[in-house]
Amino acid sequence: MTPLASFWSGLGGQPALVTRVFPVERPGVLSSRLPVREFAGACVGVCALAAAELAARRTGGGEVPAVRVDDGAVATAFVSERHLRTDGRAAESFAPLSRFWRTADGWVRTHANYPHHRARLLAALGTPEDPDAVAAALAGRSAREVEETVTAAGGLAVALRTPEEWAAHEQAAAVARLPLVERVRLDSAPAREFAAVDGGGPLLPAAGLRVLDLTRVIAGPVATRTLALLGADVLRLDPPGLPELPDQHTDTGFGKRSALLDLVGDRERFEELLAGADVVVTGYRPGALDRFGLGAEALAERRPGVVVAQLSAWGATGPWAGRRGFDSLVQVATGIAHAERGPEGGPGALPAQALDHGTGYLLAAGVLRALSDQAEAGGSRLVRVALARTAAELAAGAGAGDRVTGEPGTDLSPAPWLTERDSTLGRLRYALPPVDFEGGPRDWARAPGAWGADTARWL
């Protein structure tokens, strides 16, 4: 079974619909020791197929539109943050303290892009904000000791593990018990009734749907950016005291609106938004939002028929379920960074933040399939994904990929999949969406705006 067919089956899709997907293979892109190209194409492919399936339902139930999965478009989108330009300026990348470091017995990777994470890392190590001082402090400690010390302080550091070491870890066992996309029916809410979509323009299967976006960084925002592409009114909500990185917000903010909301102080406003929401997407650690009444069951009780989509780094169960995590750190823990080792034997990385992007498209696919299922059988729905589970799926495909090291884009120009437009932020150059089906949209209806600049209300 191909990765596309396997992923589609896991989403509960009709197997025959896989024949509606037409790939355009470009073997040189996303070159890696792991099958990143095939994996990325499958993630985007099932998302586009789920969108096409819902589009067919909303236009009278005819044939599902043909889906095109072009490796060039996928590869460009999977490194969209690298292609972003704002008035010619490239987006900021990893901060100086977000990198691999040698330890007394191996390697550790830290993540300190956000000021609060950087402060916790430095406090745990007892060093000033100086790379040389950090390197000296880490060189005298074991990688596992650093991992535990920094984690206990609320920072982010993960020791490099081999695939075998990760396989023996209790968290890996917990992740292995999960499906790639977890799908749960929460109650017996009535079947969803869709209004017919307007056939006068691009086919927008999510038109008229309202999505509350409580996600940050890349994976969750990629999912909601995709739902916005498909016509949903996506309202991203952030707490006022936890700002997002500006370039990151721009890259993943296409098609959305962005507002600030205190879930405690503005509780009445949130409940008003929830009452009108069709989908709620969260990207915080498992249980972190439960105290605000934002667990899946609590949301479904107050808003019957809602689709709740949840994203985490390590999964909802296991000893690491409550830990913070990012794509780069999951690669390190799960053995991917060891498998992608550099020419001098040190740890490496995938040619894209493929766990983030891939998981984002899988989450969007899960939401779209849940909406289609609701039209048949009703019920509030939970869709859940985890970066570590996505990593396991990628690693399981080892041997099927190109297995050629290299930088993405070295043998294929991304120009056909880049475009420009004006925005309130300036002139933007950005990657076009890779989700492509017959009659569907080819770009977002609106450019991103400034973080938190919109009013917390539905259109």
Query: Which residues are known catalytic residues?
Result: 356
Identify the bridge partners of residue 237 per DSSP, sorted by sequence position. Answer: 259
Query: Based on the number of CB atoms within 10 Å of its own CB, is 410 exposed (0-12), middle (13-18) or buried (19 or more)?
Result: exposed
Question: How many other CB atoms are there within 10 angstroms of residue 420's CB atom?
Answer: 9
Give the distance from CA 356 to its chain's centroid.
4
Question: How many other CB atoms are there within 10 angstroms of residue 161's CB atom?
Answer: 24
What is the 8-class DSSP label of residue 290? G
Residues 6+ apart with CB under 8 A from 22: 66, 67, 68, 69
Residue 380, token pair as written in the block: 């509030």
Identify the bridge partners of residue 68 per DSSP, sorted by sequence position. Answer: 22
Quote the strand ranges of 54-148, DSSP E. 67-70, 85-86, 89-90, 100-102, 107-110
Q: Are strands 233-238 and 210-214 parallel, antiparallel or unpaired?
A: parallel
Q: What SS3 class is residue 328?
A: helix
CA distance 343 to 244: 35
Cα 252–Cα 391–Cα 27 angle in degrees, nearest 5:
80
Q: First vs last Cα of the chain: how many Å apart? A: 43
Q: Are strands 182-185 and 418-423 parallel, antiparallel or unpaired?
A: unpaired
Question: How many other CB atoms are there within 10 angstroms of residue 68's CB atom?
Answer: 18
Question: How many other CB atoms are there within 10 angstroms of residue 96's CB atom?
Answer: 11
CA distance 443 to 368: 19
DSSP H or E segment with residue 233: strand 233-238
Sign of dihedral through CA atoms 425, 48, 386, 147? negative
Residues 6+ apart with CB under 8 A from 202: 439, 440, 441, 442
Backbone angles phi, psi at 47, to 5 degrees: -65, -45
Strand order in the sheet with 233-238: 182-185, 381-386, 307-312, 279-282, 210-214, 233-238, 257-260
